[in-house]
Amino acid sequence: MLEGKTINLRVAEEDDVSLIVGWWGNTQYMGEYQDVMTKTLPEFKKIVLENTIFLIIEKNEVKIGHIVGWMIGRTMEIGFALIPSERGKGYGTEAIQLMVDHLFLTKDIARIQVTTDVRNKASQRALENVGFAKEGTMRKYFYAKGNYRDHFLYSILRDEWKELKTLKEESKV
């Protein structure tokens, strides 16, 4: 468990698969800029169990979203989403900060990156709050909702992170 101030992150387990599958197949959860994921349950289960996906959990134990990281060479890329009712309350910013603390603390990486639709202001502001820098525009990078979309590439380097910002306690996950 990664403990933050208003939320915690916990690695998703087999019992969480149906919740996550429900979210990833839901248009509202995936938001305006991403398509839902259409896969079979066994395919979803494989993805959830073979990747380290963290559930974002409020202090009252309510599960409100997910954040996940995957390696591209020696770079870590992350993706995240919250249920619509819990957006705009600072939880996204805190979840990204916790994930950045955790990844720089536990992985031999120099950089964490995120790509986000150029129209996705909430994502961009949350990343900027955490210290991510906008590197540029990836033209027609992502295919969603029937169109190729431009994405901004954001990154934070280990040198820019410097120290733990949010994580209260680090334990094995």
Ligand X SMILES: CC(C)(COP(=O)(O)OP(=O)(O)OC[C@H]1O[C@@H](n2cnc3c(N)ncnc32)[C@H](O)[C@@H]1OP(=O)(O)O)[C@@H](O)C(=O)NCCC(=O)NCCS
Q: Summarize as ranges the residues that interact with ligand X (CB under 6 A).
A: 31, 33, 80-82, 87-93, 116, 120-123, 125-126, 129
d(CA 50, CA 20): 14
Is the CB of 8 or the CB of 123 nearer to ligand X?
A: 123
- Report the nearest approach of ligand X to the CB of residue 159 (Å): 23
153: tokens are 């590439």
Nearest to 4 by CA among 129, 96, 130: 96
Alpha-carbon separation of residue 136 from 66, 115, 131 (angstroms):
26, 10, 15
d(CA 152, CA 115): 6
- Report the nearest approach of ligand X to the CB of residue 67 (Å): 8
- Report the nearest approach of ligand X to the CB of residue 88 (Å): 4
- Report the nearest approach of ligand X to the CB of residue 13 (Å): 22
d(CA 52, CA 69): 7
- Report the nearest approach of ligand X to the CB of residue 83 (Å): 8
Is the CB of 83 or the CB of 109 nearer to ligand X?
A: 83
Residue nearest ligand X by beta-carbon distance: 92
Is the CB of 120 or the CB of 166 nearer to ligand X?
A: 120
SS3 content of the chain, % helix, strand, coil (to 5): 35, 35, 30
Is the CB of 113 or the CB of 129 nearer to ligand X?
A: 129
Alpha-carbon separation of residue 4 from 13, 83, 112, 157 (angstroms):
20, 19, 19, 21
Is the CB of 35 or the CB of 169 nearer to ligand X?
A: 35
